[in-house]
């Protein structure tokens, strides 16, 4: 969350886009510090904006399956965390209702994966998010689409 400290220092009581940016950063930071799963898997936040989040994770030896490739579930988990951070960036408590993933290429121990989540659509309590997972060479590893459902309460 590279620009967190700078931006939040400026964002005080101002309205408009900067405020939405600061709110997104604070909401995601708050979720992240309580998210033991994402932290335990070594995910780092690269960027946050309203409806948008980018995460990075290195494929560790304990993330590899019996075919010697990164377990597809952990590729999904990285994308799912980026999905969660992007759909909670508006500060409304939001959970995943459904998701689908297409696996395009394998990834291997030592690869650094980046998941970029963008908001495709939001209406009422529902939202759709697209997450692209790439490796350190920019090759696409997986495409993920998530459907979110807003529940009661706020993140902060």
Residues of this chain that interact with a second copy (CB under 8 A) are 30-38, 40, 61-74, 76-81, 84, 88, 93, 95-106, 120-121, 123, 126, 128, 140, 143, 145, 147, 149, 155
Provide the 10 A C-beta neighbour count for residue 45. Answer: 21
| Closest distance to a second copy from the beta carbon of 13 (Å) | 26
* Closer of 14 and 39 to a second copy (Cβ): 39
User: Measuring CA to CA, how many Å separate 62 from each of 32, 71, 108?
Assistant: 22, 9, 11
Helix or strand or coil: residue 51?
Answer: coil
Work out the end-to-end distance of the chain between its first and last CA atoms, rounded to an integer number of angstroms: 17
Closer Cβ to a second copy, 46 or 149, answer by number: 149
What is the closest distance, in whole angstroms, from the C-beta atom of residue 37 to a second copy in the complex? 4
Q: Which pair of tokens denotes residue 82?
A: 């980026």
Least distance to a second copy, CB of residue 69, Å:
8
């Amino acid at each position: 969350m590279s620009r967190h400290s700078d931006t939040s220092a400026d964002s005080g009581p101002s309205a408009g886009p900067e405020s939405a940016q600061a709110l997104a950063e604070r909401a995601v930071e708050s979720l992240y510090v309580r998210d033991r799963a994402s932290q335990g898997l070594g995910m780092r936040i690269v960027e946050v904006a309203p409806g948008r989040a980018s995460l990075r994770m290195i494929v560790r030896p304990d993330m590899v399956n019996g075919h010697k490739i990164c377990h597809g579930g952990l590729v999904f988990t990285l994308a799912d965390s980026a999905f969660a951070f992007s759909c909670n960036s508006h500060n409304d408590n939001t959970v995943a209702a459904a998701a689908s993933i297409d696996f395009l290429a394998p990834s291997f121990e030592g690869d650094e994966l980046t998941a970029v989540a963008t908001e495709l659509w939001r209406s009422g309590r529902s939202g759709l998010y697209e997450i692209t997972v790439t490796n350190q060479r920019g090759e696409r590893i997986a495409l993920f689409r998530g459907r979110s459902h807003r529940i009661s309460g706020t993140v902060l």
